[in-house]
């Protein structure tokens, strides 16, 4: 009897262990599938397909659930052959876009199955904490209110303390048996009148007034026309901190012309679309980020159909931050390309940072762009007095100047043309 139960127990145990083992193996194999599927998907498919949104190719998760695996394998391996064989479904599917899907004859059945398994399930949805998205705005008004509140509170405290001291004095006097003479109640108007008759007070008041008005006037005059710290509200909440800082995109990628011409241009929207055709920063509910939608709306771009509607185009009206008056000539390329080494040295820019930081400040930390430098004449002149360009003495430009000097020393004829007087830009800009 006992033996039987022992055997039974042993059997049960082994069955149990076997079940657990096989379950683990299956689970392990499936996980392996998904990991390999993901790698293959990222490598072979993701340049044209996304899982849940249409791209160059259609969204894959619904397509993978629509058709049976055997058919999908045939299509993925060589869709051209499948269409050539006259398969109606395949010919219809190819109508999605004039772009042909690449054939993958080297993929094995297992590899394709892994891709399909991954495409069906997709990424586990991330749960985003809604609390972190709160934007703190109006810090300046808050701090101002705080200052006012502190002042009011301290005035009240002063008044209360004054009253308390008076009361205590009176109590002490009463205890000492001295009769307190009630002060006559002076009305406020009479009190102020009395105050202005007090020469000391009037003198003090006038001094204060002069100091306040004088310092404000002085500061106001110095800062007239100086826009340091100017940070206008832009039509799209573009963050330089995200793009130039976290994502490490070079300044030149968007402000291409700063390295070629006088102006550093604001990029046109096709430059945004180089990335934002694919990067849509969708929220959990599948909505495209509202700021990216502003790009799409300005272009008349339909994200699902991936088509542009020219009739809906309207320019994005960025607000200009750095405005050098037109009577001052400034050339970006001259500073960024020709003067780069000298400016880097003068401003102490790290070799890993762009030379642009010398004047525009740490743009890679600015969530909202603002004017970092005063752009005053004094500011320009100070740098031009100090920056060291002796490294440039072998340049063609300086060679010309030296040659001209030699001519002058010898008493030869010298023309404006020898000093670059035929350059168009000397007169026309």
Partner 1 sequence: MKGSTLAMNKKYIVYAAFTVLAAVAMLSACTDKRSTGLEYARNMYDPIAYNQDQPNKNFVNGQTAQTPPLNTDPVGFVRFEYANTPEGFAASGALVNPLSLTEKNLLEGKHYYNVFCGPCHGEKGDGQGHIVKLDKGIAGVPSYYGEDPSHHTGETGLVKDLSAGKIYHTIFYGLNSMGSYASQLTPTERWKVVMYVQQLQKQ
Length of the chain: 429
Is residue 325 a contact residue for partner 1 (CB under 8 A)?
A: yes
Scanning 26-34, 42-50, 334-342, 408-416 for contacts with partner 1 by CB under 8 A, the matching segment is 42-50
Q: How far is the CB of 158 from partner 1 (least distance, A)?
A: 7
Binding partner 1 by CB under 8 A: which of 65, 108, 274, 415? 274
Chain mean position to CA 305: 28
Q: Of the two residues 23 and 201, which places its CB atom closer to partner 1 in the complex?
A: 201
Identify whether the C-beta of residue 94 lies closer than 8 Å to the C-beta of residue 87: no
Beta bridge partners of 110: none
**How far apart are the C-alpha atoms of 283 and 305, rounded to whole Å?**
20
- CA distance readout (Å), 321 to 3, 102, 122, 236, 316: 91, 47, 43, 14, 15
Residues 193-212 contacting partner 1, CB under 8 A: 194-195, 198, 200-201, 204-205, 208, 212
Exactly one of 214, 229, 420, 425 binds partner 1 (CB under 8 A); that residue is 229
CB < 8 Å & 24+ apart, contacts of 371-375: 371/227, 371/228, 371/229, 371/230, 371/231, 371/321, 371/322, 372/228, 373/228, 374/226, 374/227, 374/228, 375/226, 375/227, 375/228, 375/322, 375/324
* Residue 169 binds partner 1, judged by CB under 8 A: no
The least CB distance from residue 396 to partner 1, in Å, is 16
Using alpha carbons, select from 290, 325, 293, 289 the residue that is nearest to residue 312: 293
- Decide: is 51 part of the binding site for partner 1 (CB under 8 A): no
Minimal distance, residue 134 CB to partner 1, in Å: 21
Stretch that binds partner 1, among 5-13, 16-24, 101-109, 129-137 (CB under 8 A): 101-109
Binding to partner 1 by residue 226, rule CB under 8 A? yes
Question: Could you tell me the smallest distance in angstroms from the CB atom of residue 296 to partner 1?
Answer: 14
For partner 1, the binding residues in 385-404 under the rule CB under 8 A are: none
Task: Please select the residue that binds partner 1; options are 52, 92, 100, 423, rule is CB under 8 A.
Answer: 100
Check residue 119 for interaction with partner 1 (CB under 8 A): no
For residues 213 and 206, give the distance between their C-alpha atoms in angstroms, rounded to a whole number.
Answer: 10
**DSSP 3-state of 23:** helix
Check residue 290 for interaction with partner 1 (CB under 8 A): no
Token pair belonging to 417: 């043309």
The interface mask with partner 1, positions 250-269, x = CB under 8 A, is: x-xx--x---x--x-xx-x-
Minimal CA–CA distance to 324: which of 224, 225, 408? 225
Q: How far apart are CA 417 and CA 161, in angstroms?
A: 82
Q: Is 326 in the site for partner 1 (CB under 8 A)?
A: yes
User: Between 341 and 404, whose beta carbon lies closer to partner 1?
Assistant: 341
Q: Which is nearer to partner 1, 131 or 220 (CB)?
A: 220
In this chain, which stretch among 2-10, 241-249, 378-386, 395-403 interacts with partner 1, using CB under 8 A? 241-249
Contacts with 333 (C-beta within 8 Å, 6 or more apart), sequence order: 258, 259, 260, 261, 262
299 interacts with partner 1 by CB under 8 A = no
What is the rounded CA–CA span in Å between residue 164 and residue 145? 28
Token pair recorded at residue 107: 């993929």
Binding map of partner 1 across residues 2-41, x = CB under 8 A, - = no contact: ---------------------------------------x
Q: Kindly state the number of chain residues that form the binding site for partner 1, as judged by CB under 8 A.
A: 84
């Amino acid at each position: 009897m006992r033996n039987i139960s022992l055997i039974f127990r042993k059997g049960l145990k082994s069955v149990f262990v076997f079940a657990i083992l096989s379950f683990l193996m299956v689970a392990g194999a499936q996980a392996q599938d998904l990991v390999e599927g993901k790698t293959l998907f990222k490598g072979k498919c993701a340049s044209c397909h996304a899982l849940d949104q249409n791209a160059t190719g259609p969204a894959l998760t619904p397509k993978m659930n629509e058709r049976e695996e055997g058919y999908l394998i045939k299509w993925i391996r060589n869709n051209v052959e499948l269409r050539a064989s006259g398969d109606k479904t395949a010919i219809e599917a190819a109508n999605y876009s004039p772009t042909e899907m690449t054939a993958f004859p080297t993929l094995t059945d297992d590899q394709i199955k892994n891709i399909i398994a991954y495409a069906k399930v997709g990424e586990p949805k991330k749960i985003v904490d809604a609390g972190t998205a709160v934007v703190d705005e109006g810090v300046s008004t808050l701090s101002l209110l705080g200052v006012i509140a502190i002042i009011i509170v301290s005035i009240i405290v002063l008044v209360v303390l004054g009253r308390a001291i008076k009361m205590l004095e009176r109590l002490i006097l009463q205890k000492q048996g001295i009769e307190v003479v009630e002060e006559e109640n002076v009305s406020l108007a009479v009190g102020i009148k009395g105050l202005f008759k007090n020469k000391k007070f009037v003198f003090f008041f006038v001094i204060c007034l002069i100091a306040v008005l004088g310092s404000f006037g002085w500061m106001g005059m110095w800062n007239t026309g100086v826009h340091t710290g100017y940070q206008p509200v832009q039509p799209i909440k573009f963050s330089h901190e995200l793009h130039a800082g976290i994502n490490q995109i070079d300044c030149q990628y968007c402000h291409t012309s700063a390295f070629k011409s006088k102006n550093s241009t604001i990029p046109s929207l096709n430059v945004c679309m180089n990335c934002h055709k694919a990067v849509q920063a969708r929220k959990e509910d599948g909505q495209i980020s509202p700021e990216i939608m502003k790009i799409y709306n300005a272009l008349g771009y339909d994200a699902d159909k991936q088509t542009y509607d020219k009739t809906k185009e309207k320019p994005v009206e960025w607000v200009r931050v750095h405005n050098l008056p037109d009577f001052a000539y400034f050339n970006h390329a001259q500073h960024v390309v020709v003067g780069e080494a000298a400016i880097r040295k003068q401003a102490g820019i790290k070799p890993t940072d762009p030379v642009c930081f010398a004047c525009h400040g740490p743009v890679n930390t600015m969530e909202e762009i603002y004017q970092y430098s005063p752009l005053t004449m004094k500011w320009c002149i100070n740098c031009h007095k100090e920056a060291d360009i002796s490294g440039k003495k072998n340049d063609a430009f300086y060679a010309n100047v030296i040659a001209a000097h030699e001519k002058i020393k010898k008493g030869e004829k010298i023309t404006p043309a020898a000093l670059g007087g035929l350059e168009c830009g000397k007169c026309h800009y």
